[in-house]
Amino acid sequence: MHLPFPKPASRNMGKNTEPKNQDEVANIPLSDCAERPFIDFVNKTRLDIAVPVIFVAVFVLFAIGRVTHLLSAKSSFEVAYELVFVVGLSLVIFRHRSLFVGLLYGDLNPRGIWQYGLAPLAVVVPILLLSVLIAFVTHTPIHSFESLSIYRRREIVAGFLAPLGEEIVFRVWLQTRFQQGFGKMGEIFGGARLRPWFSAVGAFLCAALFLANHANGFSQWGIYALAAWLTWLRFRHHSLGAALISHFAWNGTLGLFGILVLTHVLK
């Protein structure tokens, strides 16, 4: 008896499981999409516990330092703050480094990660060069500009240490929890269609907290731009790698520019 040759199951499964329209895409839970690596990392590394513990450790060290006059200067505390965060979070990442690597790409390839990561330099470098030109033309010492007067050596060191700790805290931990929590609220109020919009609100609030974490965040255009860019990279492309490169490039450019200005030119 001749039997018809069966069709491959995998091909049929692919057709049955592939979303056919935007309504089906909207019905896919956020936890089943590209957010899954971030949610797994937060859960398995217990960032909900690790980050508050590190915060407490930082302030305990600060209190001890103030009593013993080891951290009498504000900038010294900033260096210690960032150092403790980087060391603490690096230990967490090292234990779960395979999960961490999974966060770096998102939906970007290596070329896209570097392109998006270095894109902010196309904005910040011309502005810094323009500020130097204005200083020469107006004969105004550049270190007297309010936006550049913060660059002292210890604060520059803190700026180089900051990106890793801040990206883990804000883009991985807070933004993941905010997008997840607000997304569930969206489903409660309006179903799957509202979930992406509510998730975007959670991302926006995370960006606001990032601004609040910086002393002059609400008065400097650069921090606004950086917060918006890093939050968008995490929300749209699910790429921690691009956000890390952007943050390091931004801080590194400003730090090197500050060193150059304060130590070599326009004193």
> pLDDT tens across 44-73, in order?
999 999 999 998 888 887 777 766 665 555
Distance in angstroms between the alpha carbons of the first and the last residue of the chain: 95
> For position 134, what pLDDT does the model report?
79
Q: How many residues belong to the chain?
A: 267
Compute the C-alpha angle 69/73/74, nearest 5°. Answer: 125
**Rounded to whole angstroms, how far apart are CA atoms 62 and 254?**
27
Region class of 239: left (phi > 0), else alpha (psi between -120 and 50), else beta: beta
Residue showing tokens 């489903």: 187
**Rounded to whole angstroms, how far apart are CA atoms 158 and 47?**
22
- 172 CA to centre of own chain: 7
Shortest CA distance to 144 belongs to which of 259, 267, 255? 267
Residue 42 makes CB contacts below 8 A (sequence gap 6+) with 48, 172, 173, 176, 177
> pLDDT tens across 190-234, in order?
777 888 899 999 999 999 999 888 766 555 778 888 999 999 999
| Average pLDDT over every residue of 16-22 | 45
Q: Residue 254 is inside which H or E element, if any?
A: helix 240-263
| C-alpha distances out from residue 173 to 4, 46, 48, 177, 264, Å | 54, 10, 7, 6, 40
The answer to whether the beta carbons of residues 113 and 239 sit under 8 Å apart is yes
> For position 27, what pLDDT does the model report?
45
155: three-class secondary structure by DSSP = helix
> For position 9, what pLDDT does the model report?
42
> pLDDT tens across 81-129, in order?
788 889 899 999 999 999 999 899 999 999 999 999 999 999 888 888 8
Residue 40: is its pLDDT beyond 90? yes
The answer to whether the beta carbons of residues 222 and 230 sit under 8 Å apart is no
Would you say the pTM of this structure is higher than 0.85? no
> pLDDT tens across 177-188, in order?
999 999 888 888
